[in-house]
Structure 1
């Protein structure tokens, strides 16, 4: 197989696997802050027990996330040497900030969080919980800033020519607040909050279905449902803002997301469909002029289509970009419907009477993960053929000396190691869930009040 394709597959695999864990850390961190804040306010023991229980799952997730994230930095040097040289100054500043201001904050407070229950005051412990949560959020900020710069470069100039060319930062804050970074950071945070909230919903729906820990699970379920409902609704706004930014800064990507080929015609919005790139047709259910209306509030507004761009400057896998994007949108809309319906039942006092709804929530833990993954696939594949949009092509960015056999061998090894790590993660989390939150009650007699 071609060296470039193998290098892309390897990096996509390692990033996708790693990205299972950071969103869970951020989302569970938010829920822990709420649980422990309620404990400090009410002094009700069940909130402390919930915090202790979810801290164990958070720690497992955090550890696996760190282990799987380190390998990507080595891949930059081994497989993408030209890219690393080109963006080294940009990525170096962002990743250094991530290490200093985010990972340091998160890991330091995590030690207090895990080992400080009986060694520091409840307020200090709560501050540590907030510190861990903010550290995980700041970590996402700097990673997304670095990636967003690839999408919409700003605050730099190019030094050198040809293979010696590299980007240097001229305005650090312009680089940080490049045209797409704020929208994408907010959207990533929201996806992470949903991943954590639906993890909590899934576990406590499972307990309710098994009639275990019912009282404490009802409290946890309602808190996570509140978070999921609010974030599902607000994600509409961030998604719309992101789409407007793509329309302005990456119009070829926007055209690929909706399978819009006509150079200067009103663009339809598809609910679902299939793109025939050869015949430049999309078969599916659409809202005529829907994309035009979303961008300009006019169904007849022309939108730049794929035919308006040179063929070597548009994504090659248009149907894949289209499908990934629409899967993400469908899951987002499903979240809105599901959480609003559950919130309505809560208001009516019938939330826990629908066993079929609890079953949906028990399996719903998979959906935020799928939405996060396909969202990133759409964003990154839609940027092609550029690795730095408008400046450096992907086929120019990989290492010239590495062979396809070397990449294939390391890809197989990564797959084996990551499969083992994933099985260990599932085993460890499953063990904690089966043991339940009662382990976290210091006095076993207190457990009886929460079952």
Structure 2
């Protein structure tokens, strides 16, 4: 296997593994803000116990997220030296802003959040919870800005030629607010909120099914369900807006996402299907002219297809992009239906009567994670063959001096280390869940009155 393929596999594996944790941290941060906010407002100790319980799981998630994220920075230098030189000024300014605005905010409040329960007032602790949550959100902002610049470059000029070429920032704010950044930031935030909300829904659905911590679990479930319902609906809007940006700035990616080959013609919207790249045919269930209508509100409006681009400028794995994109959409629609139905039952006062629904929620924790992963795969594979869209090709960005054996050896080591980290994460979180909120109560005897 050649160096480029191995370097891409290694980076895809490390970033996909890392991306399990930041969305959970951001989502749990929002949940904790609501839980602790309810404690400040009502004085009800159940909300304090819930916040303490989920803070321990947040800390485990946050720690592993930081550890797994460091590896990727080294990969830029070892495996992608040409790319690193090309985008160094762009990434340097974005990551410097992340360190200043995000990590600074998180580090300022993280100690108070973890160890300040009995050392500061409840309101000061609540402010620290908000600070850590905002810090995690700002961290996502600058990472997504850097990635979005690769998709839709802006605010720069190119200096040098060949392997020495690099992009320099000419307008920092144009770089930050490049055409795709705002929509993608909102969409990533929403995916993170859903990941955290559905973890909380899953755990407390499990408790309710086992008839453990019933009253306190009902409170947590309602908080998470309210967030999940609102976010799943609004994510549909941000997803549509992102698709419009892709249609304008990356038409080849949009064409691959829907398997649209015709050079310029009405485009169908597929609910599901299978793309044959050789025959340029898609087999599946479609809405005729649906993609044209979504983009231009006209079923007959022409949409640029893959045949409008030279073969070397198209995504290489059209069916993979198509499938990943449609898995993301399918999960998103399922989550909308699930949360709306559960919210309806909540309104009717029958939410916790449906055991089958609680079982679905207990296993639903995987769905936002899968959607987040396949969404990123669709976005990154759809950008190919460009590592910086329209400027630097992926096969020009990897390091020229690294051998395939070196990358393969490090990939195997990463697989082993990350497998150990993942098992430790599952073990630690599972242990906390099995113990339940008892450990988080100041006085277990006092807590007994909250348990049905």
- Give the TM-score range, shorter chain: over 0.9
Q: Counterparts of 1:109-128 in structure 2 under 5 Å?
A: 109-128=109-128
The C-alpha deviation readout for 1:47-76, integer Å capped at 9, x for no partner, is 000000000000000000000000000000
Local SS of the residue matching 1:212: coil
> What is the aligned partner in structure 2 of residue 381 from structure 1?
381
The C-alpha deviation readout for 1:385-441, integer Å capped at 9, x for no partner, is 000000000000000000000000000000000000000000000000001012111
Local SS of the residue matching 1:275: strand
Aligned counterparts of 2:449 and 2:359: Cα–Cα separation in 1? 25
Aligned counterparts of 2:283 and 2:417: Cα–Cα separation in 1? 41
The C-alpha deviation readout for 1:109-161, integer Å capped at 9, x for no partner, is 11110110010111110000000000000000000000000000000000001
> What is the aligned partner in structure 1 of residue 407 from structure 2?
407
The answer to whether the aligner puts 1:446 opposite 2:446 as a matched pair is yes
Local SS of the residue matching 2:227: helix
Aligned counterparts of 2:319 and 2:440: Cα–Cα separation in 1? 49
> What is the aligned partner in structure 2 of residue 28 from structure 1?
28
Aligned counterparts of 1:287 and 1:75: Cα–Cα separation in 2? 43
> What is the aligned partner in structure 1 of residue 216 from structure 2?
216
The answer to whether the aligner puts 1:152 opposite 2:152 as a matched pair is yes
Aligned counterparts of 2:420 and 2:435: Cα–Cα separation in 1? 23
The answer to whether the aligner puts 1:4 opposite 2:4 as a matched pair is yes
The C-alpha deviation readout for 1:187-238, integer Å capped at 9, x for no partner, is 0000000000000000000000000000000000011000000000000110
Aligned counterparts of 2:103 and 2:365: Cα–Cα separation in 1? 26
The C-alpha deviation readout for 1:170-193, integer Å capped at 9, x for no partner, is 000000000000000000000000
* C-alpha displacement of 1:445: 2.1
Aligned counterparts of 1:334 and 1:372: Cα–Cα separation in 2? 14
Local SS of the residue matching 2:387: strand
Aligned counterparts of 1:273 and 1:162: Cα–Cα separation in 2? 41
> What is the aligned partner in structure 2 of residue 372 from structure 1?
372
The answer to whether the aligner puts 1:325 opposite 2:325 as a matched pair is yes
Q: RMSD across aligned C-alpha pairs, in angstroms?
A: 0.5
> What is the aligned partner in structure 1 of residue 245 from structure 2?
245
Q: Counterparts of 1:285-434 in structure 2 under 5 Å?
A: 285-434=285-434
> What is the aligned partner in structure 2 of residue 273 from structure 1?
273
> What is the aligned partner in structure 2 of residue 93 from structure 1?
93
Aligned counterparts of 1:440 and 1:286: Cα–Cα separation in 2? 51
Aligned counterparts of 1:110 and 1:432: Cα–Cα separation in 2? 20
> What is the aligned partner in structure 1 of residue 283 from structure 2?
283
The answer to whether the aligner puts 1:166 opposite 2:166 as a matched pair is yes
* C-alpha displacement of 1:448: 1.7
> What is the aligned partner in structure 2 of residue 201 from structure 1?
201
* C-alpha displacement of 1:262: 0.3
Local SS of the residue matching 2:316: coil
Aligned counterparts of 1:306 and 1:215: Cα–Cα separation in 2? 55
TM-score by length of 1: 1.00
Aligned counterparts of 2:150 and 2:138: Cα–Cα separation in 1? 19
Unaligned runs of 5+ in 1: none
Stretches of 4+ moved more than 4 A in 1?
A: none
* C-alpha displacement of 1:166: 0.3
* C-alpha displacement of 1:449: 2.1
Aligned counterparts of 1:292 and 1:424: Cα–Cα separation in 2? 48
Local SS of the residue matching 1:382: helix
The C-alpha deviation readout for 1:67-108, integer Å capped at 9, x for no partner, is 000000000000000000000000011011111210121132
